[in-house]
Structures are given as C-alpha cells and as structure tokens.
C-alpha cells in the first residue's frame, strides 16, 4: 500500500481540531517507510526485487524487523506521539499522531504477502491483497478519496490545494502500480521512494496551512 497509508492522516486531521497539522500527520503515516528506506541505504534492513512475488509488486521485503514488525511500529508510534506531545503540549495531538504511525502496520497487513512480523523472528503475517488487484486497487483508492472527502467536509479553505494533493497522490499511485519496476533494489530506488514521500508531505503541509477546522471557526 502507498497512498492508502495517508488515509489515516486525513482522518486524524478531520476528527479533531486538536490534531497536528496535515504535514505532520503525513510524516506519521509513512514514518516506518521513511525509516525502512533510510535503514536500507545503510544496510540495517533490506529488500530485493523478486518478479512474481505478488501480482502487483515484485518486492521481497525479507528483512525489516525494526520498522515493519508490530513491536517496531509500536515503538515508532510511541516515540513520534511523545515528540508531538512535547512540541504541541497536547495529549490528543500526540495520541492521534501515534495512532497514525501504528496504522501503517495494519494497512500493510492487508496488502502485503506474509512478510510482516510481530517482533522479528521467522513467523510472518500478511493477507496478501496485492495478489488480488481487483480488491487492492479499489480499496486503496476508496479509502484515500473517502478520507480526503471527509477532511474537506470537516475543514474550511480553498478547494484547490487538496485537489492538487489528490491529483499528485493518484499520479504517484498509478506510477507505482503500472510503470515498469526496477530490475533490482538499489540506492536509486531508496532515494526515489524518500523523494516521493518528501514531495507529498510538502504538498500536504501546504494544504494544511490553508485549511482550518470548522469547529475552530465556530
């Protein structure tokens, strides 16, 4: 899952005026992937390209205990939530940020083939919806568009920025699904992924800076 991970960020921003800004929640949504690709660059975690690994993506994510185990994701969630709490002095903001981080493992559990662990080790989990494109594609698009719609209904501001963000997300998702995949996992792939996260996060920050929660305006 790629853009579907941002659905909890939009939902958290919509549910409470005390939520962190949308850009912060976008970081939370992909925090464990930010960490994974950074770790892959320095050799702490690893992946490889395996044609046919799933029907939709050829990724063999065989070594990621620190980022994509349930325990690892929980630790990242707690640390990020505490950081947001310390910066904003708001427990609700910290809780929402932490939950968005943790949502990453849950959504990956739906789409990944069994490659997720509870706390490292050999036992792996994953429902493998990437092998069912007719389920995975509408699911990812549906939760993303639905979450954006809810966010826009709960906030006020110019309609242009969120539509730009939605368009960029859909274009990136189409590239992720339908463009030729790399022949091997390399530094270029890792940097490309981090750059994509950075671009959408900057756009999300722009969106969040131009919208206000309706309850905040009375």
Summary mean pLDDT of the chain: 95
pLDDT class for 202, splitting at 50, 70, 90?
A: very high
Residue 162 within a domain:
yes
Q: How far apart are CA 27 and CA 115, in angstroms?
A: 23
Residue 166 within a domain:
yes
DSSP 49: E
Cα 121–124–128 angle (5° rounding)? 160
Residue 1 has pLDDT above 90, yes or no: no
Expressed as residue numbers, the domain containing 150 is 3-210
Residue 217 within a domain:
no
Query: Torsion-angle region of residue 120: left (phi > 0), alpha (psi -120 to 50) or beta?
Result: left
Residue 72 within a domain:
yes
Q: How far apart are CA 104 and CA 139, in angstroms?
A: 15
Q: Which of 107-116, 179-188, 206-215 has the highest mean pLDDT?
A: 107-116
CA nearest to 99, candidates 13, 34, 8: 8
The set of residues, in sequence order, having a beta carbon less than 8 Å from that of 104 and lying 6+ positions away, is 5, 29, 30, 31, 32, 33, 73
Q: Mean per-residue pLDDT for 78-106?
A: 98
CA nearest to 201, candidates 171, 168, 173: 168
Residue 42 within a domain:
yes
CA torsion sign for 19, 192, 61, 79 is negative
Count of CB atoms within 10 A of residue 213's CB? 18
For residue range 141-155, what is the model confidence (pLDDT) as tens digits?
Answer: 999 999 999 999 999
């Amino acid at each position: 899952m790629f853009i579907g991970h941002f659905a909890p960020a939009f939902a958290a921003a919509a549910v409470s005026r005390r939520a962190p800004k949308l850009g912060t929640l976008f970081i939370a949504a992909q925090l464990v992937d930010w960490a994974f690709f950074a770790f892959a660059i320095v050799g702490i975690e690893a992946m490889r390209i395996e044609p046919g690994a799933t029907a939709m993506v050829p990724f063999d994510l065989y070594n990621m205990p620190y980022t994509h185990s349930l325990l690892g994701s929980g630790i990242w969630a707690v640390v990020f939530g505490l950081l947001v709490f310390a910066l904003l002095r708001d427990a609700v903001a910290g809780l929402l940020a932490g939950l968005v981080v943790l949502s990453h493992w849950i959504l990956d559990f739906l789409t990944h083939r069994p490659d997720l662990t509870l706390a490292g080790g050999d036992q792996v989990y994953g429902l493998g919806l990437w092998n069912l494109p007719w389920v995975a594609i509408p699911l990812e698009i549906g939760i993303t568009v639905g979450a954006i719609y809810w966010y826009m209904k709960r906030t006020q501001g110019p309609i242009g920025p969120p539509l730009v963000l939605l368009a960029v997300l859909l274009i990136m998702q189409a590239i992720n699904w339908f463009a030729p995949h790399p022949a091997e996992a390399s530094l270029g792939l890792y940097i490309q992924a981090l750059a994509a996260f950075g671009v959408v996060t900057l756009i999300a920050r722009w969106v969040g800076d131009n919208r206000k929660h309706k309850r905040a305006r009375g």
